[in-house]
C-alpha cells in the first residue's frame, strides 16, 4: 500500500468521513447545554479549530448564526465550500485559535475533540482561553472536550474505527507512542487507510499533544480568569449524567461559562 507521510488535516474529505459520522450525539448534547447551562439565549455559535465544520454546518441548518476558524487552509476551504454548496451563510477563516479577535460576541462556542491539546505550552493555552473569553458574551458557554491524563497509567492508549461513505472507506488507528509527564507531552501516531474504487493508500501522521491532569487544567483556568465551570460530562454526551472530575478521569467535557 502506498504510504503518504503528511498531516491528516491536509485531507479534509477523509477526516470528515471519520469524524463527521457520529455527529448526532455531540450535536444533541451541545443543544442541551445551551438550554441547561447558558445564562442567555443562544443564537450565535462559534467554533475554534473548526476543521471541516462537521458540526458547524448543522447548526447553520438549524438556524443558528455560525462562524469558526482553523489554522489549516485546506480544511477551511473544504468547510466554506460545503456552506456554499448547501446555500448556508457562515464566516469561517484561517486563523490561530491562540490569537484572534471577533467583531461581535457569541452566545456559545464548542471544541470537542482534543484540538485544545494541540496548544503545546501554557502561553498558547492561556492565549486561547483569553481569546475565547473575549469572544463570548457574559453568561455564554464554551464547551471544551479533551482527554485528561489520569494520575495513574491511562486505560486508553490505542483506538481504531472504520467508517464508510458510499464507495469510500476510511480505517483509522491511533495510539500513544510515548507519555512524558514532566515535559507534559504525549506523542501520538495516527494512521488513515483510505480505500476508493480506484486507489488505496495510507496517511501516516505523528504529532504531540500537551497533557493535562485535572488539577493542571483547573489552575490554568484560574490563571486566565473570567470562567466558571458550569458542568462536567464525559464522552457519552448525556446532559442528565454529569460526572465528578478526579484523579481517575480521562474523557471530559468541560462546560465553561463566561462570567
Q: Report pLDDT digits (tens) over 150-198.
A: 988 777 788 899 999 899 999 999 999 999 999 999 999 999 999 999 9
Using one digit for the tens of pLDDT, what is the confidence trace for 77-114?
Answer: 999 999 999 999 889 999 999 999 999 999 999 999 89
Q: Which residues pair with 201 in a beta bridge?
A: 2, 194
Q: What is the dihedral of CA 11, 92, 147, 193, to 10 degrees?
A: -10
pLDDT at position 157 is: 84
pLDDT value at residue 31 = 98
Q: Looking at domain 9-150+212-258, does it have CATH number 3.40.50.150?
A: yes
Question: In this predicted model, what pLDDT tens digit does every residue of 188-244 receive, in sequence order?
Answer: 999 999 999 999 999 999 999 999 999 999 999 999 999 999 999 999 999 999 999
Look up the pTM and report it: 0.95
Label the pairing between strands 168-180 and 158-165.
antiparallel
3-state secondary structure of 29: helix
Q: Indicate if 151-210 has the same CATH topology as 9-150+212-258.
A: no
Residue 27 has pLDDT above 80, yes or no: yes
CATH architecture for the domain at 151-210: Single Sheet (2.20)
Confidence label for 12 from pLDDT (cuts 50, 70 and 90): very high
CA atoms of 235 and 141, how far apart (whole Å): 18
Model confidence at 136: pLDDT above 80: yes
Q: Read off the C-alpha cell for 2.
A: 502506498
The residue count of the chain comes to 259
In the chain, where are the structural domains located?
9-150+212-258, 151-210
Amino acid at each position: 500500500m502506498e504510504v503518504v507521510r503528511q498531516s491528516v488535516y491536509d485531507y479534509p474529505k477523509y477526516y470528515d468521513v471519520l469524524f463527521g459520522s457520529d455527529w448526532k450525539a455531540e450535536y444533541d448534547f451541545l443543544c442541551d447545554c445551551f438550554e441547561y447551562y447558558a445564562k442567555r439565549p443562544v443564537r450565535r455559535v462559534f467554533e475554534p479549530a473548526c476543521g471541516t465544520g462537521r458540526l458547524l454546518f448543522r447548526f447553520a441548518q438549524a438556524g443558528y448564526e455560525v462562524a469558526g476558524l482553523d489554522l489549516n487552509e485546506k480544511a477551511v476551504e473544504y468547510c466554506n465550500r460545503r456552506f456554499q454548496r448547501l446555500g448556508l451563510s457562515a464566516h469561517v477563516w484561517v486563523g490561530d485559535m491562540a490569537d484572534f479577535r471577533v467583531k461581535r460576541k457569541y452566545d456559545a462556542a464548542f471544541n470537542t475533540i482534543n484540538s485544545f491539546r494541540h496548544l503545546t505550552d501554557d502561553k498558547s493555552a492561556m492565549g486561547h482561553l483569553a481569546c475565547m473569553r473575549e469572544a463570548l458574551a457574559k453568561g455564554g458557554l464554551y464547551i471544551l472536550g479533551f482527554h485528561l491524563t489520569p494520575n495513574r497509567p491511562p486505560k486508553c492508549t490505542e483506538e481504531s474505527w472504520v467508517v464508510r461513505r458510499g464507495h469510500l472507506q476510511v480505517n483509522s488507528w491511533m495510539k500513544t507512542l510515548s507519555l512524558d509527564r514532566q515535559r507534559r507531552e504525549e506523542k501520538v501516531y495516527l494512521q488513515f487507510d483510505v480505500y476508493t474504487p480506484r486507489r488505496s493508500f495510507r496517511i501516516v501522521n505523528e504529532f504531540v499533544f500537551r497533557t493535562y491532569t485535572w488539577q493542571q487544567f483547573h489552575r490554568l483556568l484560574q490563571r486566565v480568569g473570567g470562567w466558571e465551570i458550569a458542568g462536567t460530562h464525559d464522552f457519552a454526551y448525556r446532559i442528565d449524567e454529569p460526572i465528578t472530575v478526579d484523579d481517575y478521569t480521562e474523557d471530559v467535557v468541560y462546560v465553561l461559562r463566561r462570567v
